[in-house]
Amino acid sequence: MHGPSGLVGHRDWPRFKALAIARTGLGYYADKDELLADRLADRLACHASLDLTGYLALLEGEPLDGIEAEALVAAITIGETSFFRDAEQLEALIRYAVPDRAAQHRADRHLEVWSAGCANGAEVYSVAMMLRSHPLVGNWQLRVLGTDIDRTALAEAVIGEYGAWSLRGMRVEANFTAAGPRWRVTDVFRRGVEFRHHNLVTDPPPVAGGGSGFDIVLCRNVLMYFAPPQRRVALAGIRRSMAEGGWLAVGCAEVCPEMDDMFTPVRLPHATLYRKTGKFLAEGPLPDGDVGFHMGIAFDHLDDARAAMATLRGLLSTKGDS
């Protein structure tokens, strides 16, 4: 009844498309009418009495967190994720960002991380596992905040039970307990983990509890779906949320020219990370194993950082995977 092609030709299609992109930032759909119409058709199937004009009236009559507004967000967001996705980049965070921020927090022994656009939480728990296994900060007060625009994904994240697809490539026994055919993140890795609804385009950034800003922010595979203006808004919010000298990871394949005047790239052996300040900017690629000196960061515990990497490699072993 509401075929995708018919929807694209509807007189209210441009208005619907503009509303969907403005509310989510998903400029990805700017040249993908058929795909967006396909998602919309699924929503319209739940409102058989409404045509596109009526559906728009329903959306516009609701608050942004209204039932249909949320259902539309869940239908059009792309939530693909997995545990320890882009492991080399996570290794770079463990090896360079964590020891650097730990040096800043020697006195208060706390670290705060924000995963912006965390989908079903796999990224958040991966970070929690890495930090809890880290010899420098494992027994510190850790907070890992996961946020997303999609409440369905957040509900999954709070439950913290995963199937084989999210866990691909992982050794599950050490960090999960069996829950029927799924695996539940063990309690030790839930300590300090928190999930919250947050829209990177329309909401002010979350505030780190310690008051000095997030030490590390991951916003991976999110900005690539945004239109440039929304990307800039999201990045400015992320920057505001961060501690001076904090570290940012975006997706390995993400090219964000908007970052150029906001963050300082730090090119590491297997990943590029970004910092809120240029103070410790590394010039050119860094040699493996000698990074503390080149970045002007005191790595008193480089051996500990290496041990943490070994732990991460252990977590990633495919042995015993199911």
Which residues form the interface with ligand SAM (CB under 6 A)? 24-26, 77-81, 85, 117-119, 123, 148-150, 153, 198-201, 220-222
Residue 299 beta carbon to ligand SAM: minimum distance, rounded to whole angstroms: 27
> Could you tell me which residues are beta bridge partners of residue 249?
218
Q: Decide if 266 contacts 273 (C-beta within 8 A).
A: yes
Q: How far is CA 255 from CA 41, 77, 141, 221, in A?
A: 31, 20, 34, 10
Residue 51: how many other CB atoms lie within 10 Å: 15
Cα angle 308, 311, 313; round to 5: 115
Shorter beta-carbon distance to ligand SAM: residue 106 or 197 = 197
Shorter beta-carbon distance to ligand SAM: residue 36 or 295 = 36
Q: With residue 306 as reference, give the H or E element that holds it.
A: helix 302-316
Candidates 232, 221, 206; CA nearest to 85 is 221
Residue 66: how many other CB atoms lie within 10 Å: 14
Residue 44 beta carbon to ligand SAM: minimum distance, rounded to whole angstroms: 21
**Separation of alpha carbons 28 and 226, rounded Å:** 6
Residue 147: how many other CB atoms lie within 10 Å: 23
Residue 222 beta carbon to ligand SAM: minimum distance, rounded to whole angstroms: 4
Contacts of 61 (CB under 8 A, 6+ apart): none
Shorter beta-carbon distance to ligand SAM: residue 85 or 301 = 85
Residue 234 beta carbon to ligand SAM: minimum distance, rounded to whole angstroms: 7
Residue 185 beta carbon to ligand SAM: minimum distance, rounded to whole angstroms: 16
Shorter beta-carbon distance to ligand SAM: residue 145 or 149 = 149
Q: Decide if 153 contacts 124 (C-beta within 8 A).
A: no
User: Strands 176-179 and 182-185, how do they pair?
Assistant: antiparallel
Residue 221 beta carbon to ligand SAM: minimum distance, rounded to whole angstroms: 4
Q: Which token pair is 298?
A: 């005191």
Residue 106 beta carbon to ligand SAM: minimum distance, rounded to whole angstroms: 30
Shorter beta-carbon distance to ligand SAM: residue 237 or 245 = 237
Shorter beta-carbon distance to ligand SAM: residue 22 or 262 = 22
Shorter beta-carbon distance to ligand SAM: residue 81 or 133 = 81
